[in-house]
């Protein structure tokens, strides 16, 4: 593994001392938010994790090397280059390595690298899922398969309504992935605290979530665990307003014939434009909220 993976000194030290670590993804930096807010947010998320007593490990691929733990300069580089960096999911990793390229890692790719590094807890904003119209297009994010097979606990704010949320929940059930609602009975829908869908499992403490994770690993059940953390009330958006903007963005995507891996970044950018930045502010706040919960879960693992 040493031939491919570099952990930063801080991450190496934390791993050897058994200190809590929280992995963070890099597609959210390059493809999920505009510069310079993306860099400010990524650094603020790292600071939040540190303030909570855990060690952040932002994950990416640089010059064909898998990285767990980036410097502030490296985060700036990913933020500034933005979509010029290749969005890298599971399938893309080997080619990026072979060519010595840079890759911004999605949830799926970040889970793979976290597991290789020995990091159990990963914090993000939203996960990919089953897209609307998937019965025709078969557009199902590789994040779903990764949750089915790679042993990493992912903290998110639910999934955006750019996805078909009922189908996403069915898919996760089929794949044996539990979805925990943190202090909620409902699946949060990223910008909003509710979706009208029930989560299969509610837990009210980081300790209980950590205990469930420990049991899942000890039993060799395999796969990941999805913890959904609702956006704080004061930052949540009006569901009618945001869902209307999401519908407009999807309509535009269809008109332009956007497909495949470009779908999610297109919709994220379009929604930010349509809401004149209000969705971006919500996005930032929910990631910070997830960083706090992920740190607490990591601290409760032993
Ligand atoms: N959803 C968001 N913000 C994001 C993403 C998804 O609300 O930044 C990114 C994540 O990196 C996720 C990826 O893993 O998009 C999913 O892309 P796709 O649907 O192409 O698998
Ligand atoms: Mn897709």
- In the chain (302 residues long), the average pLDDT of successive 10-residue segments reads 91 98 98 97 98 98 98 98 98 98 98 98 98 95 98 97 96 98 98 97 98 98 98 96 96 96 95 93 97 98 86
Specify whether the CB–CB gap between 52 and 296 falls below 8 A. Answer: yes
Residue 210 Cα to chain centre, angstroms: 18
pLDDT of 20: 98
DSSP, collapsed to helix, strand or coil, labels residue 301 as: coil
Q: Is 10 a catalytic residue?
A: no
* 119 Cα: distance to centroid of ligand 1 (angstroms): 20
pLDDT of 302: 76
Contacts with 106 (C-beta within 8 Å, 6 or more apart), sequence order: 25, 27, 87, 88, 89, 128, 141, 142, 143
**130-143 as b/e: b if 16+ CB within 10 A:** bbbebeeeebbbbb
Q: Would the CB of 92 count as within 6 Å of ligand 1? A: no
224: phi then psi, degrees, rounded to nearest 5: -100, -170
141: phi then psi, degrees, rounded to nearest 5: -60, 140
DSSP, collapsed to helix, strand or coil, labels residue 38 as: helix
Q: Would the CB of 126 count as within 6 Å of ligand 1? A: yes
Residue of 167, 246, 264, 265 best suited for mutating to test ligand 1, as the one with most atoms within 8 Å of CB: 264
- The residue behind tokens 């699946």 is 187
The full set of domains in the chain, from first to last, is: 5-300 (3.40.1790.10)
Look up residue 293 and give its two tokens.
């919960």
Contacts with 244 (C-beta within 8 Å, 6 or more apart), sequence order: none
Ligand nearest to the CA of 145: 1
Verdict on whether the full-model pTM lies above 0.95: yes
């Amino acid at each position: 593994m040493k031939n491919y993976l570099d952990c930063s000194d801080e991450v190496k030290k934390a791993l050897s001392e058994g200190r809590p670590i929280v992995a963070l993804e890099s597609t959210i930096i390059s493809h999920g938010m505009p510069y310079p807010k993306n860099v400010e947010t990524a650094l603020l998320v790292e600071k939040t994790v540190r303030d909570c007593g855990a060690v952040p490990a932002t994950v990416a691929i640089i010059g064909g090397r898998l990285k767990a733990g980036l410097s502030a300069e490296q985060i700036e580089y990913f933020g500034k280059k933005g979509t010029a960096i290749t969005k890298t999911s599971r399938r893309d990793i080997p080619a990026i390595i072979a060519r010595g390229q840079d890759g911004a890692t999605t949830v799926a790719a970040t889970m793979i690298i976290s597991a290789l590094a020995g990091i159990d807890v990963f914090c993000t904003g939203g996960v990919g899922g089953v897209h609307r119209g998937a019965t025709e297009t078969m557009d199902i994010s590789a994040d779903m398969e990764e949750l089915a097979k790679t042993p990493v606990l992912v903290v998110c704010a639910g999934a955006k309504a750019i996805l078909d949320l009922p189908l996403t929940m069915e898919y996760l059930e089929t794949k044996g992935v539990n979805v925990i609602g943190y202090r909620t009975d409902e699946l949060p829908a990223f910008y909003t605290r509710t979706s009208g869908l029930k989560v299969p499992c509610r837990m009210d403490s980081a300790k209980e979530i950590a205990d469930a994770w420990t049991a899942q690993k000890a039993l060799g059940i395999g796969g990941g665990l999805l913890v959904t953390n609702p956006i704080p009330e004061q930052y949540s958006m009006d569901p009618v307003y945001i869902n209307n903007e999401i519908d407009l963005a999807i309509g535009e995507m269809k008109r332009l014939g956007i497909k495949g891996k470009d779908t999610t970044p297109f919709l994220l950018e379009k929604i930010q434009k349509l809401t004149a930045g209000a969705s971006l502010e919500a996005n930032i706040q929910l990631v910070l909220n997830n960083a706090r919960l992920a740190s607490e879960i990591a601290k409760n693992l032993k």
